[in-house]
Each structure stands twice: as C-alpha cells, then as structure tokens.
Amino acid sequence: MSKTVMAGNTTEKTTLVVLLGVSFAHLLNDAMQSVVPAVFPIFQQQMQLSYAEIGWVAFTLNITASILQPIIGFYTDRKPLPLLLPLGMGFSLLGMAGLAWSPSFWCLLISAALIGIGSSVLHPESSRVAHLAMKRRRGLAQSVFQVGGNTGQAFAPLMAAFIIVPQGQAGFLWFTIIAGFGIALQLGVSRWYSQQSRPLHAAAQAVDRAKSSFRKSFIVYVLGILILMLFSKFVYLASMTGYYAFYFMDKYHLPLSTAQISIFALQFAGMVGTFLGGPLADRFGRQKVVWFSILGTSPFSLLLPYVGPAGSVVVCAAIGLILMSGFSVIIVYAQELLPGHVGTVAGLFFGLAFGMGGLGSVMMGWLMDTHGVERMIQACAFLPLLGLFALLLPSDRVIMGKPKSFVA
C-alpha cells in the first residue's frame, strides 16, 4: 500500500473520530440541557412555583442560547476560537452545580442561564468542526452531529426518572461529572480543530463566498419559510418536553416516572429520525424531507390528546421519528443557500430553535395557568399544520443549481 493511500486512510479515521467526538459532546450537552424541563414537576413541588414561573425558567435557558449562538457563530466565522469548546462545557458544569443547590426561583434562573451559555458555545463551534471533518459529506456529518444531541435529549427523561426523582435537586450533582468528562473530550477536539481551522477556514471562505450569488430578496423569502418551520417544530417540542408530563399525570393519574416513558419514546424515536433524515434527503431531496418532517407530524399530534397512556407511547414515538428528521436537513439547506457562513447559519438556526422554544414555554405556561393543561396540549397539536408552508420552498435543484432568475 502506498504512503499516500495510508496517509489518506489515517486522515479519514482521524476525522471520523473527531466527528464522533463532537457528536458525543453534543450528546452530553443536550442531556444536561434537556434534563432541566424533564424535572419541572420537582421544581414546582419543592419551590411552589406557578406554571408561568416554570415557563420563565425554560425561557431563560433557551433565550440565553438563542441570543448568543448567532453572535458566536458570526464572530468565529471570521476568527475561529477552538478553546471555546471546553469553555462552554465549563459553563454547563457551573449551571448543573447551581441547580443542585438553588434555594430560590432567581437562583434557578441564573443556573439555567449558565447552561444556556454552555449550549450557545457548543452548537455553532461543534457544527463547524463537523463541517470541517466531513467536507464532502456534509449532510451526513450534520446528521451524525445532530444524532448526538437527540440521543442526549432521549436519555434525559430516563436520567430524570432514575437519578433526580429519587434524590431531588441534589441529583444534579451527578451531572457535574458528565460536564467534567465533556470538558476533557472537548479539549481533545479543540486541539485537532486548532490545527485545521486556520488554513481550511481561509480556503473555504474564499471559495464559498465567490459562490454566494442569490438575490437578497430570494434569501429572505427562503429563510422566512425555514424560520416558520423552526417555530412550528420547536414550540411544539417545548410543549411536549416541558409540559406533556403535567398533562399525562393530570389526565391518567399516573406518576412522573411513568409519564417520562412517553417523553423518552418521543426523544428516542427523534434520535432515529435525525439519523435517517440525512440519507432520506440525499435520496428524495432536502425540500421534500423538510415539509414532510413538519406536516407529516400533524396527524399524530392531533391524535395524541385522545389516546390512552399506552397509546401515547406509540404516538409519541411516531411524532419524534417524523418531526426530528428535518432539523439537520434544514441546517444544511440553509448553509447551501448561504455558503461561507457555516457558523453563522448554525448559530442562527440553533439560536432560533432555543429562542422559539423558550418563548413558547412562557406562552404555554400562561395558557396552562389560565385555561388548563389539557386545553394547552390540544391547541399546540395544530402547530405542525404550518408545514404546509414548506411546500413553497424552492427545490434542491434551485438551491444547488442557482438558476439565473434567482441570482443577483
């Protein structure tokens, strides 16, 4: 075997390890972040919080990441900062420790903000690492990266049920160990990133920006539809991950640990859907996967309030499988629309996802206080119907081929 082939194989193995590394870091980050809404009933009972106050905790967690992620992505598109990767996990560690010892509502908000800061660093920078590691298969890279996050989200309800429910708030201290492992992992990734980012960043910017030739009005039109899809997806997900447990316990008179089984089914199936989203987009087209991932969820979301506890597990799994298949595809679709802005696009879309989820949590908390949990769940079931607007998205041929009618 020639030295060139051996070097190529070594490089491929290294980049695969790096990709799996950032995916696992994403798993740890999203597990820590998702366990917070999973234990809202505990905070409500121990601190006597209203549903609106619970909504503000979710809002703080999400809006912190929402505001900072596009800023970090925009800045690091121009000046990569590899050490941000372990630093972000450091903020998450502080947030987990804060949740374990929070004596009041305001301390909960500060701890949630620290976790949000950690996520705001991880998502744009780790997405860029995935982009660098698999330059020729970016759809697959984004799916692998996103699967890590969805896996963390899937296991968060089980972690809540078996770690925090028995121990109360003190159970959050176990998650500081997870954060410590994440810091060590991200230190290793940051070393590879620091070696790759400077030359690849300069070359990619020069090539990709030369290709960015869509008219501004066309870009605004496409981004507007994609943002509407994010609104539908993440406000509905916030209703499920943050409040469906209340609905389940109230309607079926079953404990929180049983309610978490349905949430786990949603998140675990979502992990599978995320992994399948990239290959399905390669086979059938990104535009088709985007609209199906939102609109295809609607029959199941509308059915969910009317099934029993056993049926809810099956329906939640169907919702997660379909709804989560489109997010990584949306990001790659937008990155091809705006080449040369990998971090900005990732930061913007992850930030919007968190922000919309946070705002949705506040609205849903208010709805629950004023109209009851059942009415809120029934109203949110209509959100996936907004997927009808995704039918207006340009085809893959338009985005990748850039017909003259859309070029500046």
Q: Which of 93-107, 130-144, 226-240, 378-392 is predicted least confidently?
A: 130-144
pLDDT value for 3: 44
Query: Other CB atoms closer than 10 Å to residue 282's CB: what's the count?
Result: 16
Contact 233, 283 (CB under 8 A): no
- Alpha helices by DSSP H, listed for 134-255, are 138-159, 165-167, 173-211, 216-252
Residue type, 84: L
Residue 407, classed as helix, strand or coil, is: strand
- How large is the angle between the packed helices 105-133 and 138-159, nearest 10 degrees? 150
C-alpha–C-alpha distance, residues 234 and 62, integer Å: 11
- pLDDT tens figures, 266-293: 988 988 898 888 778 878 888 899 999 9
Average pLDDT, integer, range 176-199: 86
Q: For position 404, what pLDDT does the model report? A: 47
CATH number at residue 382: 1.20.1250.20
**pLDDT at position 207:** 45
Q: What are phi and psi of 285, to 5 degrees?
A: 110, 145
Residue 214's pLDDT is: 75
**Domains: count for the chain:** 1
How many other C-beta atoms can be found within 10 angstroms of the C-beta atom of residue 197? 21
- Alpha carbon dihedral 33, 242, 130, 96, in 10-degree steps, equals 0
Q: Give the bridge partners for 407, in sequence order.
A: 214
Mean predicted lDDT score pLDDT of the chain: 83
How far CA 101 is from CA of 110, 118, 156, 162, 273, in Å, comes to 12, 19, 20, 19, 36
More confident residue, 332 or 291: 291
Most confident stretch, 82-86, 300-304, 343-347:
300-304
- For residue 180, the model assigns a pLDDT of 95
Quick check: 119 and 88 in contact, CB under 8 A? yes
- Residue 141, pLDDT > 50, answer yes
pLDDT over 50 at 7, yes or no: no
* pLDDT band for position 211 (cuts 50, 70, 90): low
Per-residue pLDDT, averaged over 178-185, amounts to 94
Share of the chain above pLDDT 70, in %: 88
Specify the pLDDT at position 401.
63
Say which range, 72-76, 98-102, 310-314, 404-408, has the weakest mean pLDDT. Answer: 404-408
pLDDT digits (tens, 9 = 90+) for 63-120: 887 788 888 887 877 778 888 999 999 999 999 999 999 888 999 999 999 999 998 8
Task: Give me the amino acid identity at 248.
Answer: F
Quick one: pLDDT band at residue 212, thresholds 50, 70, 90?
low
Question: Which pTM was predicted?
Answer: 0.70
Minimal CA–CA distance to 71: which of 355, 272, 284, 309?
Answer: 355
Given a cut of 60, is residue 179 above it in pLDDT? yes
Per residue in 127-138, pLDDT tens? 778 877 766 666
213 pLDDT more than 70:
no
Tell me which residue range forms the domain holding 259: 3-406
